[in-house]
Structure 1
Amino acid sequence: MGDGTRHLRRDNESFIKWQARRLTNTRTFASLDHESETSQMKRVLTVKDLSAMGIGAIIGTGIFVLTGVVAHERAGPGVAISFVIAAIVAGLAALSYAEMACLVPIAGSAYTYTYATCGELLAWIIGWDLILEYLVGAATVSVGFSHYLEAFFKDAFGWEPQTKLMRAPFAYQQDAFSLTGDWFSLPSFLIVILLTILLCRGVKSSARVNNILVVVKLIVIVVFIFGACKWVDPANFSPFVPPNTGKFGEFGPSGILRGATIVFFAFIGFDAISTAAQEARNPQRDLPIGIGLSLVICTVLYIATSIVMLGVVNYTEIAGTGRGAPFQVTAAATGMKWLSIFCEIGILAGLISVMLVLLIGQPRIFFSMAVDGLFPEIASRLHPKYKTPVMTTAIAGVVCAAAGGMFPVDLLADLTSVGTLFAFFLVHCSVLILRWREPDRPRRFKVPLGPVLPVLGAACCVGLIAVDSVSAIIRLVVWLAIGLVFYAAYGSRHSRLNNPERYALSEPMEVVGERHHTTHEEVKGDASPLHTSTPNDVKV
Structure 2
Amino acid sequence: MEKSIWRTKPISAYEADMKKSTLKRVLGKWSLTAIGIGAIIGGGIFVLTGTAAYYHAGPALALSFVVAGIACIFAALCYAEFASMLPVEGSAYAYAYGTVGEVFAWLIGWGLVLEYMMGAMTVAVSWSGYFNKMLKMFGMYIPENLVTDSISYQGEGFAFNLPAFIIVLVVTYVLAKGTKEAASTNNLIVLVKTSVVLFIIIVGAFYINFENLTPFIPEETTIIGSHGTPEVAYGYKGIIMGASAVFFAYIGFDAVSTQAAEAINPKKDIPFAIIASLLICTALYILMSLVLTGMMNFKEFGTIPDGLTAPVAIAFERATGMTWAVILITVSATVGLISVLLVMMLGQSRIFMGMAKDGLLPPIFKEINPNTKTPVKNTIIIGIIVALVASSTPISTLVHMCSFGTLFAFSMVCFAVWRLRYTQPELKRGFRTPALPLIATAGIATNIYLIMNLERSAIYMAMGWLTLGILVYFLYGKRNSVLNNGGYDNLQD
Q: Does 1:231 align with 2:215?
A: no
Aligned counterpart, 1:187: 163
CA contact (8 A) 1:497 1:532 kept: no
Query: One-letter code of the match for 2:200?
Result: F
Query: One-letter code of the match for 2:64?
Result: S
Q: How far does residue 348 in structure 1 lie from its aligned partner after superposition?
A: 1.6
Aligned counterpart, 1:504: none
Deviations 1:97-119 (A, max 9, x none): 10000011100000000000110
Aligned counterpart, 2:399: 413
Query: One-letter code of the match for 2:408?
Result: F
Aligned counterpart, 2:227: none
Aligned counterpart, 1:321: 305
- TM-score, normalization: structure 1? 0.86
Task: Please list every run of 5 or more consecutive structure 1 residues that lacks an aligned counterpart in the other structure.
Answer: 1-7, 10-20, 172-177, 501-508, 512-525, 534-540
RMSD after superposition: 1.9
Query: One-letter code of the match for 1:235?
Result: E
Q: How far does residue 38 in structure 1 lie from its aligned partner after superposition?
A: 1.3
Following superposition of structure 1 onto structure 2, how do residues 13-32 of structure 1 map, counting pairs within 5 Å? Answer: 22-32=4-14
The alignment partner of 1:451 has SS state of helix
Task: Please list every run of 5 or more consecutive structure 2 residues that lacks an aligned counterpart in the other structure.
Answer: 224-229
Distance 2:62 2:200 in 1: 17
Aligned counterpart, 2:69: 87
Candidates 195, 198, 217, aligned match of 1:241 = 217
Distance 1:409 1:318 in 2: 21
Distance 1:324 1:43 in 2: 39
Following superposition of structure 1 onto structure 2, how do residues 90-239 of structure 1 map, counting pairs within 5 Å? Answer: 90-155=72-137, 157-170=138-151, 183-239=159-215
CA contact (8 A) 1:248 1:255 kept: no
CA contact (8 A) 2:114 2:402 kept: yes
- TM-score, normalization: structure 2? 0.93
Q: How far does residue 310 in structure 1 lie from its aligned partner after superposition?
A: 1.3
Distance 1:292 1:403 in 2: 32
Moved more, 444-453 or 274-283: 444-453
Distance 1:455 1:532 in 2: 30
The alignment partner of 2:99 has SS state of coil
CA contact (8 A) 2:253 2:278 kept: yes
Distance 1:206 1:349 in 2: 14
Aligned counterpart, 1:304: 287
Aligned counterpart, 2:340: 354
Distance 1:161 1:316 in 2: 31
Higher relative contact order at CA 8 Å, sep ≥6: structure 1 or structure 2?
A: 2
Distance 1:404 1:231 in 2: 37
Q: How far does residue 249 in structure 1 lie from its aligned partner after superposition?
A: 5.1
Going from structure 1 to structure 2, the CA distance change for 1:331 and 1:170 (only over 3 Å counts) comes to: farther
Which has more radius of gyration?
Answer: 1
Sequence identity (%): 41
Aligned counterpart, 1:522: none
Aligned counterpart, 1:285: 268
Following superposition of structure 1 onto structure 2, how do residues 503-514 of structure 1 map, counting pairs within 5 Å? Answer: 509-511=487-489
CA contact (8 A) 1:248 1:254 kept: no
Moved more, 110-119 or 181-190: 181-190
Q: How far does residue 439 in structure 1 lie from its aligned partner after superposition?
A: 0.9
Distance 1:339 1:168 in 2: 30
The alignment partner of 1:22 has SS state of coil
Aligned counterpart, 1:257: 240
Q: How far does residue 493 in structure 1 lie from its aligned partner after superposition?
A: 0.7
Deviations 1:159-180 (A, max 9, x none): 4443332233556xxxxxx968
Following superposition of structure 1 onto structure 2, how do residues 340-419 of structure 1 map, counting pairs within 5 Å? Answer: 340-419=326-405
CA contact (8 A) 2:86 2:95 kept: yes
Moved more, 329-338 or 111-120: 329-338
Aligned counterpart, 1:332: 317
Distance 2:142 2:289 in 1: 29
Q: How far does residue 232 in structure 1 lie from its aligned partner after superposition?
A: 1.7
Query: One-letter code of the match for 1:326?
Result: P
